[in-house]
């Protein structure tokens, strides 16, 4: 009779380790792969600091929300899921780059037929930032050379070693 009484680890406690690498990059947030370059930015408006607010209705059909902003002429037009006025605008004017006023503020190029990465493409970043502030009332969480602006005493639990 073998007595193996010493090892008494409970085999029922199986620890499932979840992969959470994606948390660092937000890869799970439904973000479609976006292009990091686009050759169709020459016609972008030179004054994207002043843009219509995100609740501007479609200029053609008055569709009230989730419209697109043409980044060439700042026209606000509805999506292909409504009356396709942004798409028509592209066909009429060849203005190919538009920013979505829906919650993800994605930028689409009709010629590339792809989303553009506003964090990487420097010409798109200012308007993305402006729109984000208009929509959410705060600056987007870019991680850049402009490091942690610690606001007042909001640092809270975070201790920052300098
Ligand atoms: Zn393009
Ligand atoms: Zn419309
Ligand atoms: Zn346009």
Per-residue pLDDT tens for 24-73? Answer: 444 445 555 899 999 999 999 999 999 999 999 999 999 999 999 999 99
Instruction: Using the mean position of ligand 2's atoms as its centre, give its distance from the Cα of residue 116 in Å.
Output: 23
Quote the pTM value: 0.70
Instruction: Using the mean position of ligand 1's atoms as its centre, give its distance from the Cα of residue 12 in Å.
Output: 55
Which residues crowd ion ligand 3, with CB under 5 Å?
Answer: 70, 72-73, 75, 95
Question: CA nearest 57: which of 75, 34, 30?
Answer: 75
Give the whole-number percent of the chain exceeding pLDDT 90. 64
Token pair in block for residue 139: 């600056």
Q: pLDDT tens digits for 121-138?
A: 999 999 999 999 999 999
Domains and CATH numbers, the chain: 32-138 (3.30.40.10)
Closest ligand to 44 CA? 3
98 touches 66 (CB < 8 A): no
Instruction: Using the mean position of ligand 1's atoms as its centre, give its distance from the Cα of residue 160 in Å.
Output: 41
**DSSP assignment of the chain, as one string?**
----TT----TT---PPPP-THHHHTTTS-PPP-BS--S--TTS-S-TTS---TTPPPTTT---SS-EEETTT--EE--TTTT-HHHHHHHHH---EEEE-STT--EEETTTTEEE-TTT-TTTHHHHHHHHHHHHSS-----SSS-----TTTTTT-----
Token pair in block for residue 35: 């292009």
């Amino acid at each position: 009779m073998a007595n193996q009484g010493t090892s008494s680890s409970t085999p029922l406690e199986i620890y499932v380790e979840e992969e959470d690498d994606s948390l660092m990059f937000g890869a799970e947030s439904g973000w479609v792969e976006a292009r990091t370059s686009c050759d169709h930015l020459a016609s972008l408006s030179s004054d994207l600091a002043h843009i219509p607010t995100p609740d501007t209705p479609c200029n053609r059909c008055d569709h009230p929300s989730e419209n697109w902003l043409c980044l060439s002429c700042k026209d606000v037009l509805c999506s292909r899921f409504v009356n396709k006025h942004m798409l028509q605008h592209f066909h009429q004017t060849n203005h190919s780059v538009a920013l979505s006023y829906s919650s993800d503020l994605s930028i689409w190029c009709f010629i590339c037929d792809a989303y553009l990465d506003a964090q990487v493409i420097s010409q798109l970043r200012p308007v993305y930032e402006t729109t984000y502030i208009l929509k959410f009332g705060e600056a987007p969480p870019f991680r850049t050379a402009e490091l942690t602006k610690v606001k007042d005493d909001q640092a809270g639990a975070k201790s920052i070693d300098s």
